[in-house]
Amino acid sequence: MVCATLRHSIPKSIVYCQVREAKRSLLDHFFVEIGKYESKRLSSLLNEDPAIMERRSALAKRLELYRSAQAEIDS
């Protein structure tokens, strides 16, 4: 009974791992492709409020400043 259970579960586990890896790879590729779009095109795709888009870009700049400051402090 144990051998039969293993015979049935091992191929299912292998396929599950392959599907999970393929999903991760496709999502990574999708995020890279979406990230290449310019901000105006991206906001039109998202149907996002321009104020939210400005706030996000300001926060991204602030985050970059914090990261550079942290790198400067660490060195």
Residuewise pLDDT in 10s, the chain (75 residues): 888 888 889 999 999 999 999 999 999 998 888 877 776 677 677 777 888 878 988 999 999 999 999 999 998
Tell whether 42 is covered by a domain: no
Task: Please indicate, yes or no, whether residues 31 and 2 belong to a single structural domain of this protein.
Answer: yes
Alpha-carbon distance 5 to 7, whole Å?
5
Task: Please indicate, yes or no, whether residues 30 and 54 belong to a single structural domain of this protein.
Answer: no
Q: Which domain holds residue 61?
A: 48-74
Please enumerate in sequence order all residues whose Cβ is within 8 A of that of 52, keeping only pairs 6 or more positions apart, or say none.
none
Contact of 74 with 67, CB cutoff 8 Å:
no
Tell whether 41 is covered by a domain: no
- How many domains are there within the chain? 2
Which pLDDT score, from 0 to 100, does residue 16 have? 94
The conformational region for residue 37 under phi > 0 = left, psi -120 to 50 = alpha, else beta, is: beta
